[in-house]
Amino acid sequence: MTSKEKVYPTIDAAVADIPDGATIMFGGFGGAGFPNNLIQGLARQGARNLGVISNNCGTGEGELGLLFKNRQISRVIAAFPGPGAKYFQEQFDAGEIELELVPQGILCERMRAFGAGIPAFFSPVGVGTEIGRGKEERMIRGKRYILEQALGADYAFIRAYRADRMGNLVYRKAARNFNPIMATAAKSTIVEVEEVVATGKLDPETIVTPSIFVDRIVQAEGKRYA
């Protein structure tokens, strides 16, 4: 795999083979670090019955809102779908979308566990709340914990600032957010970046996501929706 060309010429080429029914992680938080070009490419591509793992569910037609508007998503795992996620909320209220709400840090940790080969872990978050309902509980050193399952996906769609041609990634400010974790937890990670540079041009000390976690790279100017 190491010698494989990872740089794709276009967004549409990078998402062309996503099948119906795929589960996809989407990075981004607070308008920053969303792979909006890949999302729009997936809207053009038209895959349906998708499962989505994301902190939130879009803002109007921006971010994931477009895929909800197109009714391409049927299952969601999220921490904060968001009041601005108009199309998601309409379809959720109509009973058309299956939703699992997850505490935000546990969403991170479940993905991190998957990427690290840990199948499940005990957590203090959600003990005694509806999040803990139905989950195995155990006392460890005198405190209550619940068992949380690792969370993986078929694809991760992420946004970074710069990639080299091998797929090493650096991010910009708070646009990093969920992107590096998701890169580790999907069978295939597709990244859109502001700039692709020659291999060796990134300072190894600053690389946040090493190339082993990245499968496809495509250059696209960042788009933002508030």
Partner 1 sequence: MPKARLTREQIAERAALELPDGAYVNLGWGIPNLIAAYVPSQVTVYFHSENGILGMGPRAKPGEEDFDLVDAMKVPVTLLPGGSYFSQDDAHVMTRGGHLDICILGGLQVSEHGDLANWRVPGAKGAGGIGGAMDISVGAQKLLVTMEHTAKDGSPKIVKTCSYPLTAIDCVDTIITDLAVIDVTPEGLVLREVAPGFTPEEVQTFTEPKLRYSTKVPEMRLQQR
Binding residues vs partner 1 (CB under 8 A) = 29-33, 55-56, 78-83, 88-89, 92-93, 99, 101-106, 108-109, 111-112, 123-131, 171-181, 208, 224, 226
Tell me the two tokens of residue 30: 């607070």
Q: How far is the CB of 66 from partner 1 (least distance, A)?
A: 18
Query: Residue 100: how many CB atoms within 10 A of its CB?
Result: 12
Q: Considering beta carbons, is residue 7 or 99 the nearer one to partner 1? A: 99
Q: How far is the CB of 199 from partner 1 (least distance, A)?
A: 23
What are the DSSP E strand ranges found in the chain? 23-26, 50-54, 73-78, 98-101, 120-123, 137-140, 143-149, 153-164, 169-170, 186-197, 216-219
The DSSP secondary-structure symbol of 124 reads S
Q: Considering beta carbons, is residue 177 or 189 the nearer one to partner 1? A: 177
Q: Considering beta carbons, is residue 8 or 59 the nearer one to partner 1? A: 59
Q: How far is the CB of 16 from partner 1 (least distance, A)?
A: 29
Helix (H) or strand (E) holding 48: none
Q: How far is the CB of 83 from partner 1 (least distance, A)?
A: 7
Report in angstroms the alpha-carbon separations of 33 from 5, 109, 179, 197, 221: 24, 19, 7, 19, 12
Q: Considering beta carbons, is residue 208 or 212 the nearer one to partner 1? A: 208
Q: Considering beta carbons, is residue 17 or 98 the nearer one to partner 1? A: 98
Q: How far is the CB of 9 from partner 1 (least distance, A)?
A: 26
Phi, psi (degrees; rounded to nearest 5) at 131: -65, -30
